[in-house]
Chain A
Amino acid sequence: MGREVKRITCIVCPNGCEIEVVLESGRVVEVRGAGCRRGVEYAIEEATSPKRIVMSVVKCIDGDLPTVSVKTSRPVPKERIWDVMKVLSEVEARAPVEVGQVLVRNVLGLGIDVVATRRCRKVS
């Protein structure tokens, strides 16, 4: 594995610096173009192990709305986003659901839960 340059648009502040992270065999050897320390940290994280909170909705049975909104309790490695969505496509919650209620525990063994972000009240 050789030298690799990853281009990252910084999102830490509205400046939007274009940062280059130089990797050698997967290890960061240089960070160019960052305007501040936080930018450097962000760029390294983005270049080596980018993560995202995944948010979506899942079906809610007997609820005042047919869906309940959800998110992952912590950011998920970017390459696992699709796997999380796959799991969510088959999840069904049952009303009542409260905000923060865990709907999928330890999704994909990542040590991260999927929690409700909206109430779903039961209707008879």
Chain B
Amino acid sequence: MGRLRVAIVGAGIVGCAIARELSRYENLDVVVIEREPDVGWGATKANTGIVHPGHEEDPDQHPLRARLCVEGNRLWREWARELDIPIKFPGELMLFFSEEERKRAQRFVELAKRNGVPEVRIVDGEELRVLEPAASPRAIGAVWAPTAGVVNPIQAAIAMIENAVDNGARLLVETEVKRVRVESGKVVGVETSRGFIEADIVINAAGINADEISASAGIDTFRIWPRKGQYVVFDRLAQPKPTRVLHTVPTPITKGVYAVTTTEGNLMIGPTAEDLPPDRKRDTSTTREGVEYVLREGSKLLERIPPRRLVIKTFAGLRPEPTTRDFVVEAYQKPWGLINAAGTRSPGLTAAPAIAKLVAKLIAEELGVELVEKRGWRRFRRGIERVRDAPWPKLVELVKRDPMYGWIICRDEMVSAAEVIEAVKRIQRIGARVTLDGVRFRTWLGMGRCQGSFCRVATAMLLSKVLGVKPFEITLRGKGSEYAVGDVKALWRERLGERRT
């Protein structure tokens, strides 16, 4: 067999991880097909960003989740180092507030043993406060899981796709896969909004829409419904900022609310868990009730919560909840060539690198494709050098190297013109569309306390110059979200034009 054409549906964290993993192999020709103008714009950009230890997954109920979560936690350390992904491993404290909760929490220590999660144990109130002074004084103890991490999930997806493209994979954005085409029991490609794309193997990593994609190929074994999670983010200077990941003891109904300090240094609290009907797969609106709930739950976890006026952002994401409860990562003989990487609810982010490894294994073992390692496969990728994170001597050097590093566009997050320009180059290199959101996610521009009220217009002007387009053609996130409707006299010209004709 010669080179196999592999189409990955969806450029979320799972699709990007798979692309990166499959880009290792000489005999796979990988294309990632994404509906949005850029990668990671579904659940990937709007979740808690936790690399779970794996002690909350019951292997009897969902064995794949349990196995891939633990393996994923280990892989993230490797991948983050290789791909220069913002990540930290501060450990996690599951706080309990009553003897009844302590009993329920005990179960997670046992699950940790069964799943092979190291060093998970119960700590008493005293040790809890040593581990985390910002924890609520009402907590009587916690389950301590030191291997928990916090990652910047959208930057992780970006890093993975950059590395994949660097190794020969391709990305097609603004291309919606309508269905998988199957002929004579074999996958032959995907029908998209931009026409038919031939493929020998189709990997369904379509997140919230993975059930529809799978069903179109004849595998109608699961449904996915959206579960909304709302979050609040506080100003970087707001206190307290817990060192550890804090959360409540999960109940059968909810996994509980987290309080984390993000990789960017903001206190973030969330999520809610609101099941939506299957037809609301794009409803990422926030609600007053959701925001209030999250703030209330957060105030249970922390000794105190910052004042409401220090909230700089509220947002919501949709987690893909499968009817199977467990992940659906499997290959099929009929139709041959379809691989599902679906149902990737929590801990989908944690599991992503492990899912990618499993997909490669399925290709080899289930589809019988002998995978040939690429010579000269590039294992490493560097992130954009950040003014905010650089000590002064480093800044002096950066500015000498590239004068644009001295021009700060975003005052809160200290993002320079050099970083913006580099982000644009990288977006173009992977074949995505340049948007204000795409630049924001790569540079963290406009993510601070002024939320872009100073820097957005300056960025639009800079992008217009770099791209050679009108500033009002710059979009927030693709067609229909233009930053402005025209030049300042556009409405008058319209009026006068109307009158003349």
Contact A86 B496 (CB under 8 A): yes
User: Quick one: closest A residue to B471, CB to CB?
Assistant: A66
- Chain A: residues with Cβ within 8 Å of the partner, total of 8
What are the interface flags for B52-66 relative to A under an 8 Å C-beta threshold, 1 for contact and 0 otherwise? 000000000000000
- 10 other contacts beyond A57-B488, A86-B492, A90-B489, with CB at 8 A cut-off? A59-B487, A59-B489, A67-B488, A85-B492, A86-B496, A88-B489, A89-B489, A89-B492, A89-B493, A89-B496
Interface members, chain A 72-124 (any B CB < 8 Å): 85-86, 88-90
Q: Give the chain A neighbours of B489 by CB distance below 8 A.
A: 59, 88-90
A47 to chain B, nearest CB (A): 29
5 contacts between A and B (CB under 8 A): A57-B488, A67-B488, A85-B492, A89-B489, A89-B496
Q: Return the CB mask of B457-496 against A: 1 if under 8 Å, else 0.
A: 0000000000000000000000000000001110011001
Tell me the count of chain B residues lying within 8 A, CB to CB, of chain A.
6
* Chain B hits for A90, CB < 8 A: 489
Shortest beta-carbon distance, A117 to chain B, in Å? 15
Per the bound structure, the CA–CA distance linking A85 and B488 in Å amounts to 12
Select from chain B the residue with minimum beta-carbon distance to A87. Answer: B492
Q: How far is the CA of A59 from the CA of B489 in the complex (A)?
A: 9
Residue of B nearest to A67 (CB): B488
Residues of B contacting A88 with CB < 8 Å?
489
* B residues less than 8 Å from A86 (CB atoms): 492, 496
Specify which chain B residues have a CB less than 8 angstroms from the CB of A59 in the assembled complex: 487, 489
Interface centre among A59, A85, A88, A89, by most chain B C-beta atoms within 10 angstroms, is A89
B493 — which chain A residues lie within 8 A by C-beta? 89
The distance in angstroms between the C-alpha atoms of A88 and B496, with both chains bound, is: 12
**CB closest residue in chain B, given A89:** B492
Nearest opposing residue in chain A for B461, CB measure: A66
Q: Mark B191-228, 1 if CB is under 8 A from A, else 0.
A: 00000000000000000000000000000000000000
B461 shortest CB reach to chain A, Å: 9
Residues from chain B with Cβ under 8 Å of A57 in the complex: 488
Closest B-chain residue to A85, C-beta based? B492
Chain B residue numbers with a CB within 8 Å of A85 are: 492
4 cross-chain pairs, A with B, having the tightest CB-CB distances, nearest first: A89-B492, A89-B489, A57-B488, A89-B493
Interface-central residue, B487, B488, B493, by most chain A CB under 10 Å: B488
> Using Cβ atoms and an 8 Å threshold, which residues of chain B touch A89?
489, 492-493, 496
Tell me the complex Cα distance, A75–B56, Å. 72
How far does the alpha carbon of A88 sit from the alpha carbon of B487 in the complex, in Å?
Answer: 13
Considering the complex, which residues of chain B in the window 150-170 have a beta carbon less than 8 Å from any beta carbon of chain A? none
In the complex, residue of chain A having the shortest beta-carbon distance to the beta carbon of B494? A89
Give the distance in Å from the alpha carbon of A57 to the alpha carbon of B496 in the complex.
Answer: 18
Quote the shortest CB–CB distance from A63 to chain B (angstroms): 14
Mark out the residues of chain A between 29 and 72 whose CB falls within 8 Å of any chain B CB in the assembled complex.
57, 59, 67
Which residues of the other chain, A, contact B496 by a CB distance below 8 angstroms?
86, 89
Q: Please indicate the chain A residues that have their CB under 8 angstroms from the CB of B492 in the complex.
A: 85-86, 89
Q: How far is the CB of B494 from chain A (nearest CB, A)?
A: 10
Residues of A near B488 (CB, < 8 A) are 57, 67
- Chain A nearest CB from B474 CB (Å) reads 15
CB proximity of A81 to chain B, nearest CB, Å:
13
In angstroms, Cα B488 to Cα A59, docked, is 9
CB distance from B382 to the nearest CB of A (A): 35
Q: CA–CA, A67 to B489, complex, Å?
A: 11
Of chain A, the residue at the smallest CB distance from B491 is: A89
